[in-house]
Amino acid sequence: MTPPTPQHLLDRARRLAGTGERRILGIAGPPGAGKSTLAARLVEALEGRAVLVPMDGFHLAGTELRRLGRADRKGAPDTFDEAGYVALLTRLRTPDGDTVYAPAFDRALEEPVAGSVAVSPDVPLVVTEGNYLLHWPRARALLDEAWFLAPDSDERVRRLVARHIAHGRSREAAEAWVHRSDEANTRTVERTRDRADLIVSHL
């Protein structure tokens, strides 16, 4: 099967945005797969007909992770507010005339920030991206279409290390975090790829 091209992906997103009803496109994949990059490109190309709502806005705050004893594995499924994310997707599926405000994750602060993303009721397509869209059954059920990004593993790990370094970790600490935490989460995410409508191996 021929891998989907960027134009093919844009065409699929454009069709979803043109149904006349609110649709939700989910982009899943392991850490460092390029989910946020692809999602942002699609939203930009759709020129006001789509908005990006990242799953990462539902990270639990650092204080709560420390209280729960989970700070050392931030990014694992139980370090997110799964129920809150599902509730937001449910609300986004049926616009009621009000603007919906969604949280986002500030990488400089390493914290979620409420009310960061405005979703107008007249926007036809919500693009959401994150590791666990297919891992959480209630979230998957709310997606009209789901894609799974599966890039080259070595390149993905290089991106992750570079990202952690850019946000203040030493190379040694970045590599240790990637191999201990991010790659453990990758194994969880990889088990969900067969729940996607489309596998994207090249961007």
In a domain, 10, yes or no: yes
For 68-79, write each residue's pLDDT tens digit: 999 988 999 999
Domain range for residue 128? 6-200
> What's the total number of domains in the chain?
1
Cβ atoms of 151 and 28 closer than 8 Å? no
Q: Does 85 reside within a domain?
A: yes
- Whether 1 is in a domain gets the answer no
The answer to whether position 161 is within a domain reads: yes
DSSP-assigned states of every residue in 96-158:
-SSPEEEEEEETTTTEEEEEEEEE-TT--EEEEEETTTTTSHHHHTT-SEEEEE---HHHHHH
Closest to 148 measured CA to CA, from 186, 175, 110: 186
Cα(178)–Cα(80) distance, integer angstroms: 18
- Report yes or no on 60 lying in a domain: yes
Burial 39-76 (b: 16+ CB within 10 A, else e): bebbbeebeebbbbbbbbbbbbeeeebeeeeeeeebbb
Under-70 pLDDT residues of the chain: 1, 203
Phi, psi of 9 (to 5 degrees): -65, -45
Per-residue tokens: 109? 């602060």
What pLDDT was estimated at residue 203? Answer: 65
In a domain? residue 157: yes
- Alpha carbon distance 39, 129 (integer Å): 7
pLDDT of residue 26: 98
CA–CA separation, 96 vs 18, rounded Å? Answer: 19
pTM listed for this prediction: 0.91
**CATH number of the domain encompassing residue 114:** 3.40.50.300
- Nearest partner of 51 among 3, 95, 7, judged by Cα: 95
Residue 159 lies in a domain: yes
Phi, psi of 190 (to 5 degrees): -60, -30
What pLDDT, on the 0 to 100 scale, is given for residue 102?
A: 98
The pLDDT of residue 1? 59
